[in-house]
Structure 1
Amino acid sequence: MKKISGLFLAISFIGLTSCTAMNTTNNSPLINTYWKLTEIKGTGVSVSDNQREPHILLNSEQRVAGSDGCNRIMAGYTLKGENLQFSQMASTRMACMQGAEQANLIGASLPQTAAYKITGDHLELRDNTGAVIARFTAVALP
């Protein structure tokens, strides 16, 4: 009876630790993920009526597409390990009744990106001092 109890405990322990290990390594991929902007320079992001939510999507051709909440944004990017830099950032120039100030902050902040970190479904963009510029959440697309 003691052998069966010990075997049951060992199998249970292995099962529990393997489930824990699987959950800690399940990070969303940087590339081909829709990243919804939730915070820029320490300020929560708001979405104005009838406008797109601020987001970015990095594709495998080293291009970025997205929205600053007012304008479409596009850029190139360079990725080396955890170093990430955006280049040739451009945007449309729509006249936005709401959200223009936030859009300008996003447009000025993203080019400062030097590195990134993904934890689960959360992405942080950091500048060259390690300070967080922006925070995103991965969103599943239909």
Structure 2
Amino acid sequence: MLKKSMSIAILSSVVMLAGCETMPNNQQSAQNAERLQNRTWIATQIGNTEIKTAPTARNIPSLQFDSASQRVSGADGCNRIMGSYQVVGDTLTLSQMAGTQMACLNNNNIDRDFNVALNKVTHYQVYAKTLKLLDKHGNLLIQLETPIQPR
């Protein structure tokens, strides 16, 4: 009798925990990709360094992911940058990255740090108005925010 009760309790627990998942992973991945794309993301942090830029500044480190063309564009804090991207689940692959080559003074090497970090991106996470670009170990490379609330 005790074995039967224990089996029922374990089975009930497994069923309850399985029911806690609110949506299938592929649906959740599609929603994350939708949150990533078609909005402007402004960099607020590179690694452990917070970025503070004046709203009137030109070429603020930022990214835009265009879902129709699968192209990424933006600025690195000095130059315009562009390339292509691919999203599969939580994996983000940036490729064919290129940029203008203007000389910028007094930007504390934000452009260099931003580009070095972009070259290491393998994964991403989107939480409300925050985008985190991560390396293959899950370390934060760049954190960005969007002024637009995801739908």
Calculate the TM-score normalised by the size of structure 2.
0.70
Deviation of 1:50 (Å): 4.3
Does residue 67 in structure 1 map to residue 71 in structure 2?
no
Letter of the 1:59 counterpart: D
Higher deviation after alignment, 105-114 or 91-100: 91-100
Deviation per CA, 1:56-114: give whole Å up to 9, x if none: 00001110010011100111111101100111111111111121611011011112111
Greater RCO, 1 or 2 (C-alpha within 8 Å, sep 6+): 1
Provide the rounded CA distance (Å) in 2 between the counterparts of 1:127 and 1:55.
Answer: 18
Q: Which residue matches 2:17?
A: none
Q: Which residue matches 1:18?
A: none
Provide the rounded CA distance (Å) in 2 between the counterparts of 1:50 and 1:35.
Answer: 15
Calculate the TM-score normalised by the size of structure 1.
0.75
Q: Which residue matches 2:129?
A: 121
Q: Which residue matches 2:63?
A: 56
| Match of residue 104, structure 2, among 96, 104, 116 | 96
The answer for unaligned runs of 5 or more in structure 1 is 1-25
4+ residue stretches of structure 1 with deviation over 3 A?
A: none
Does residue 33 in structure 1 map to residue 39 in structure 2?
yes
Question: Are the counterparts in 2 of residues 70 and 100 from structure 1 also a CA contact under 8 Å?
Answer: no
Provide the rounded CA distance (Å) in 2 between the counterparts of 1:97 and 1:107.
Answer: 16
| Match of residue 46, structure 1, among 31, 48, 52 | 52
Deviation of 1:51 (Å): 2.2
> SS at 1:94's partner residue?
coil
Q: Which residue matches 1:84?
A: 92
Per the alignment, do residues 100 and 64 of structure 1 end up closer, same or farther by CA in structure 2, a change over 3 Å counting?
farther
Provide the rounded CA distance (Å) in 2 between the counterparts of 1:98 and 1:51.
Answer: 13
Count of residues in correspondence between the two structures: 117
Per the alignment, do residues 50 and 120 of structure 1 end up closer, same or farther by CA in structure 2, a change over 3 Å counting?
closer
The CA RMSD measured in Å over matched residues stands at 2.2
Provide the rounded CA distance (Å) in 1 between the counterparts of 2:57 and 2:48.
Answer: 25
